[in-house]
Structure 1
Amino acid sequence: MPSSISGPPEAASPDAPPRDEPLRDAALLVVDDAATVRLYYREILGGLGCRVEDAWNGMEGLEKALRAPPRLILVDVNMPGLDGYSMLRKLRQEEALRAVPVITITTEAGAAEASRAYRAGANLYLRKPVRPELLAGLARVLLGMPPA
């Protein structure tokens, strides 16, 4: 089953970090309560030459992002404790994290869920399962990397 994507016209914030920084030392953050999903995304994103950190719920993800702001965040919306929507709202309240691009990835397929994710602060909304080449390509765009 192919994944679907929807996004606002401008996916990356104009206040995003400079795109000419070396990415090999940049951290990407994956927040999902399923260990296998975190490993899957880690493998895909690790191929971009970035360090990939992960967290199992929104609270841990928020704490990690506050300690060391990542260049990109992938977040599931359905998690125990602090869900992805709540995590996004809190992220966007933090000056250091407002410009960090966020991709929500979820099994929720409706337009209402996508709208809720964008209102919370997402840059992109993807439905699971996400094809590796799609995720890698979108991450490259949001990180300002040239196409593969």
Structure 2
Amino acid sequence: MSDTTPQASGARILVIDDGITMRLYYRTVLEAAGFTVEEATNGVEGYEKAVAQSYDLLIVDINMPKMDGYSLLRAIRSEAAIRSVPAVTVSTEAGPDDATRAFQSGANFYLVKPVAPQALTELARLMAGGRS
């Protein structure tokens, strides 16, 4: 990465993942790139935070307790105030049907774990970097 790489200008990202290690990984990578990161530990908490606050990007795990990522995305896309917030789903599931299901639920992009730090940062900048 060079000094001419644009910074994220404080765009706000909500990471919704039940795994503490994954949330810490996303936070570390994205904050180092200049993003403001908040976390939710399951789909219900993620939905409540997404409705209550303003975010520029949602990073959504698929396999979570209380509400999975697919259900969370469908709920978010049904809310007029937040339906346009970009959402990236991240999953260990790598089959073509998994990605199709994520897109049908409202995902804008589908990533398979593990996600390389540079790929995560570049995608976040693409989807939310221009917002602040």
1:114 counterpart letter in structure 2: A
> Equivalents in 2 of 1:127, 1:59: separation in Å?
22
Cα drift, residue 45 of structure 1: 1.0
In the alignment, structure 2 segments of 5+ residues that lack a partner are: 1-7
CA distance in 1, matches of 2:122, 2:23: 18
Q: Is the partner of 2:65 in helix, strand or coil?
A: coil
User: Matches of 2:9 and 2:74 in 1, distance apart?
Assistant: 26
Matched, 1:72 2:51: no
TM-score by length of 1: 0.80
Residue 111 (1) aligns with residue 111 (2)? no
TM-score, length of structure 2 as denominator length = 0.89
Task: Please name the residue that 2:5 is paired with.
Answer: none
Q: 2:37 aligns with which of 43, 52, 55?
A: 52
Identity across aligned pairs (percent)?
Answer: 51
Give the match for residue 133 of structure 1.
Answer: 118
Partner Cα separation in structure 2 for residue 45 and residue 96 of structure 1: 25
Following superposition, which runs of at least 4 residues in structure 1 exceed 4 angstroms of deviation? none
3-state secondary structure, aligned to 1:80: coil
Q: Deviations over 1:56-88 (max 9, x none)?
A: 100000000111021000010000110000000
In structure 2, the residue corresponding to 1:97 is in which secondary structure?
coil
Deviations 1:76-113 (A, max 9, x none): 00001100000000000111111111000000010001
- Post-superposition offset of 1:38: 0.1
What is the aligned partner in structure 2 of residue 35 from structure 1?
Answer: 20
3-state SS, counterpart of residue 88 of structure 2: strand
Gap regions ≥5 residues in structure 1: 1-21
Residue by residue over 1:1-37, the C-alpha shift from the partner in whole angstroms, topping out at 9 and shown as x without a partner, is xxxxxxxxxxxxxxxxxxxxx832x421000000010
Superposed displacement of residue 54, structure 1? 0.3
Q: CA RMSD in A?
A: 1.2
- What is the identity, as a one-letter code, of the residue corresponding to 1:143? A
1:144 to partner: Cα distance: 4.1
Contact 2:13/2:36, CA 8 A, preserved across alignment:
yes
Q: SS state of the match for residue 15, structure 2?
A: strand
